[in-house]
Amino acid sequence: MSDVSRRLFMQAAGISAVAAGIHAAPARAAAQNEVGIKVIASGNGAEATRKAYEMIQAGEDPLDAVVAGVAIVEDDPLDTSVGYGGLPNERGIVELDAAVMHGPTHKAGSVASLQNIRHPAQVALQVLRRTDHVLLVGAGALDFARAHGFQEENLLTDHARKIWLKWKETMSEKDDWLPDPNEDPGVAQFFHEHSIALTDSLARRFRRPTGTIHCSAINAKGDISCTTTTSGLAFKIPGRVGDSPIIGAGLYADNTVGSCGSTGRGEANLQNLSSFAGVELMRNGASPEEAGMEVLRRIVKTTEPRLKDKEGRPDFGLSFYLISKDGRYAGVTLWGPEKYAISDANGTRLEDCKYLYRKP
Ligand code: GLY
């Protein structure tokens, strides 16, 4: 039994940590104290954390700050996992998911399968502020975005279109789509970078990207907010919704405890409500790192054999980013080494995620 599981078991059995001689610092202990501003994000979010940190320092609400921060990545045509330039669904259409959660009011807003709008996190923020709902999808989400003045545009860049086309042309030798004999070197490079070495042979296999950006922030008063925004699983079945817009799966914040958000295989988080679990583990005394690692271990246990390698390890990527009310933070991942971004009084930098397994 892990330390965290043991602690939770003892709580359920009415055995106090003090009686057992274990020092479990409650996440709420520092609630009344001033904590420094901290902003964390997935490894693609260093500029997002820098922007959000500066805005919080200038007195902005952490939720406005993280939404403005991730807009930098939503705008970036080179990030193929988020917003403009994101990889499309199997029909070549970019469909975006995003959510926001505001700790002080415990309100949330989200959009799923949104087409043609490059800043879905901003639309999610309007869902939170200007509706009595939490989640809008597809055509309804687009109508809502238009009503709030968001401009429609084609989000499929030439780079993303060529990557999609190669995927389509190389899926099967039994259909009529033939690969380009003069392949774009940028596309070849992309497929190389997203291939995983199989542990039981030297073969490599293309792993469909599930990149995303999550960004969480805490201000000096201890108020917490977060957002997750993504183009989702590359080449997904149209209409597929991942974890990012689902509160409790791709992100969760409780202003009395902390926040947790995720990047990677969304289906694993939908099946385990992982971000909610991460926050609940912190509520019960786990540090951000312990909580994130415990969620990963639970996911390993519930992963179906089809998605595991010969050694029983999930063959997909999954990461969590956690902040606790007292300002502690962590990034954890199934497969390391992997980095996450942090901005605090010491500046903006990438730090190492704690990981369960080392990449082969
Ligand atoms: N975590 C992003 C997705 O699976 O859609």
Per-residue model confidence as pLDDT tens for the chain (360 residues): 444 444 444 444 433 333 333 333 344 444 444 689 999 999 999 999 999 999 999 999 999 999 999 999 999 999 999 999 999 999 999 999 999 999 999 999 999 999 999 999 999 999 999 999 999 999 999 999 999 999 999 999 999 999 999 999 998 889 999 999 999 999 999 988 888 665 554 556 677 877 799 999 999 999 999 999 999 999 999 999 999 999 999 999 999 999 999 999 999 999 999 999 999 999 999 999 999 999 999 999 999 999 999 899 999 999 999 999 999 999 999 999 999 999 999 999 999 999 999 988
Q: Which of 228, 236, 265 to mutate to test the pocket of ligand 1 (most atoms within 8 A of CB)?
A: 265
Its pTM stands at 0.89
Cα of 262 vs centre of ligand 1, distance in Å, is 8
- The answer to whether position 190 is within a domain reads no
Q: Is residue 101 part of a domain?
A: yes
Count of structural domains, the chain: 1
Q: What is the pLDDT of residue 187?
A: 93
pLDDT at 209: 77
> 272 — phi, psi (to 5°)?
-120, 0
- 300 contacts: CB under 8 Å, gap ≥ 6: 312, 313, 314, 334, 356
Q: Is residue 261 part of a domain?
A: yes
Pocket test for ligand 1, best of 243, 273, 275 (most atoms within 8 A of CB): 243
Token pair belonging to 358: 């080392």
Alpha carbon nearest to ligand 1 atom 4, residue:
266
pLDDT of res. 22:
32
> Which of 266, 270, 267, 255 is closest to 221 using CA atoms?
255
For residue 308, list its beta bridge partners. Answer: 314
What residue ranges line ligand 1, CB within 6 angstroms?
Answer: 210, 212, 230, 232-233, 242-244, 250, 263-266
> What is the 274 CA–ligand 1 centroid distance (Å)?
13
Pairwise CA distance, residues 123 & 222, whole Å: 26
Domain assignment of residue 328, yes or no? yes
Which two three-digit tokens encode residue 282?
């912190």
107-114 vs 135-137, strand pairing mode = parallel
| Best CA proximity match to 270, nearest among 297, 290, 299, 292 | 299
Q: How far apart are the CA of 250 and the centre of ligand 1, in A?
A: 8
Give residue 96's domain range.
3-154+209-358
Tens-digit pLDDT profile for residues 229-257: 999 999 999 999 999 999 999 999 999 99
Residue 12's contacts (CB-CB under 8 Å, 6 or more residues apart) are none
DSSP labels for 170-194? HS-SSSS----SS--HHHHHHHHHT
Crossing angle (nearest 10°) for helices 274-283 and 288-302: 140
Nearest CA to ligand 1 atom 5: 232
- 264 Cβ neighbours under 8 A, 6+ residues apart: 210, 212, 316, 317, 318, 319, 333, 334
Sheet holding 38-42, edge to edge: 135-137, 107-114, 96-102, 224-230, 213-218, 38-42, 339-344, 347-352
In a domain, 175, yes or no: no
Choice among 157, 210, 212, 333 that is catalytic: 212
pLDDT score, position 194: 84
Is 188 a member of any domain? Answer: no
Summarised one tens digit per residue, pLDDT across range 305-360 is 999 998 999 999 999 999 999 999 999 999 999 999 999 999 999 999 999 999 88
Top mutation candidate among 70, 244, 246 for ligand 1, by most atoms within 8 Å of CB:
244
- CATH number at 297 reads 3.60.20.30
pLDDT at 269: 98
User: Closest Cα partner for 224 from 262, 261, 249, 250?
Assistant: 261
- From the CA of 258, how far away is ligand 1's center (Å)? 22
Residue 198 and residue 205 in contact, taking contact as beta carbons nearer than 8 Å: yes
Distance from Cα 229 to the centre of ligand 1, integer Å: 9
Q: Are 182 and 147 in contact (CB under 8 A)?
A: no
In a domain, 178, yes or no: no
Q: Is 212 a catalytic residue?
A: yes
201 falls within a domain: no
